[in-house]
Amino acid sequence: MTTDKTVRSLSTLELSRDKFIELRAGNLSVKLAETEEERDAARALRYRVFVEEMGAKPDEKVAETQRDHDEFDDVADYLLIIDHSKTGVLERVVGTYRLLQREQANKVGHFYSSNEFDLTILNEFPGRLLEVGRSCVDPAYRNRSAMQLLWEGIASYIFLYRIDLLFGCASLPGTDPDQLSEELTYLYHVHLAPPALRVTALPERRVEMMRMDPHKLDLRRCLVKLPPLIKGYLRLGGFVGDGAVIDHQFNTIDVAVLVKSELLTDKYYRHYERRLRDALE
């Protein structure tokens, strides 16, 4: 839930309840996709990153269209990073995140993460849920500014829709859990979700995360080795679920991540409110 401190200070944010305000930082901005052309550009970027760069195995349609697409893309919102110095839409979309609320997931019949994790606990969660996924950034833009914009975009979306819990699958590169023993053990030992939020890997796909003696871990080294996105979740006070899953299609090992929205809004509130006020003037 949003904190009392946040609720008392929402007068400026209320102005954005009916519209996601695009936020700028130099040539870059973060916004929601508004046209099918922008959504198509996000899917093209995902194809370049996931398939061409990371070695994901596309199905026949994805390979033919060179667009990463599944059934959830037809109902989800798309967060975009736009480079306004570029001309064509395909070139302008340099980062993206797929955002799926419970009502949107119900149109498909389930959340994407349910293919890997038992979400029963979340299905019983009384607040508003947001599943995030398919995050990627063009290699030329993988810097602090772009990642900061993505987090600001998620924060503004959470304000707009009063999201209570953010969750999704986060990926580590590779499909050999023994090569990721330190990272998986660290995540389980240090950042395991409390029982009330502890989603679990599906039994038939489960990979144990506790793969070595946690007392032998160099915690600083483990944190450094984690992908930037997972480190971002952890800096916000995020948790991981119990058990990992090998995703052979995307050439990754996935863990479930969960962040209570007040942790994110507390971090970004003052900064976002100032940016929003500037955007509205």
Per-residue pLDDT of the chain (281 residues; tens, 9 = 90+): 444 443 333 333 443 445 788 888 899 999 999 999 999 999 999 999 999 999 999 999 999 999 999 999 999 999 999 999 999 999 999 999 999 999 999 999 999 999 999 999 998 888 899 999 999 999 999 888 888 888 889 988 988 888 999 999 999 999 999 999 999 999 999 999 999 999 999 999 999 999 999 999 999 999 999 998 899 899 888 999 999 999 999 999 999 999 988 766 555 555 555 555 554 44
Cβ distance 169 to 230 under 8 Å? no
Q: What is the pLDDT of residue 192?
A: 97
> Residue ranges per domain, the chain?
4-280
Q: What is the pLDDT of residue 265?
A: 56
Q: What is the pLDDT of residue 36?
A: 96
Q: Please name which of 225, 255, 252 lies closest in space to residue 241, comparing C-alpha atoms.
A: 255
User: Which residues partner with 280 through β-bridges?
Assistant: none
Q: What is the pLDDT of residue 3?
A: 44
CA distances for 255 relative to 116, 150, 203, 218, angstroms: 9, 20, 14, 20
Q: What is the pLDDT of residue 178?
A: 96
Tokens for 60, please give them.
């026949």
Q: How far is the C-alpha of 189 from the C-alpha of 40, rounded, in Å? A: 40
Q: Which CATH number fits domain 4-280: 3.20.20.70, 3.40.630.30, 3.90.180.10, 1.10.1530.10?
A: 3.40.630.30
Q: What is the pLDDT of residue 18?
A: 56
Q: What is the pLDDT of residue 19?
A: 77
Cβ distance 109 to 75 under 8 Å? no
Gyration radius of the chain over CA positions: 18
pTM over 0.75: yes
Q: What is the pLDDT of residue 147?
A: 85
CB proximity list for 145: less than 8 A, separation 6 or greater = 25, 26, 28
Q: What is the pLDDT of residue 238?
A: 93
Q: Please name which of 115, 116, 112 lies closest in space to residue 129, comparing C-alpha atoms.
A: 112
Q: What is the pLDDT of residue 148?
A: 85
Q: What is the pLDDT of residue 10?
A: 37
Q: Please name which of 122, 134, 127 lies closest in space to residue 163, comparing C-alpha atoms.
A: 127
Dihedral of the CA atoms 56, 114, 257, 212 (nearest 10)? -80
Q: What is the pLDDT of residue 13?
A: 40
Cβ distance 180 to 247 under 8 Å? no
Q: What is the pLDDT of residue 146?
A: 87
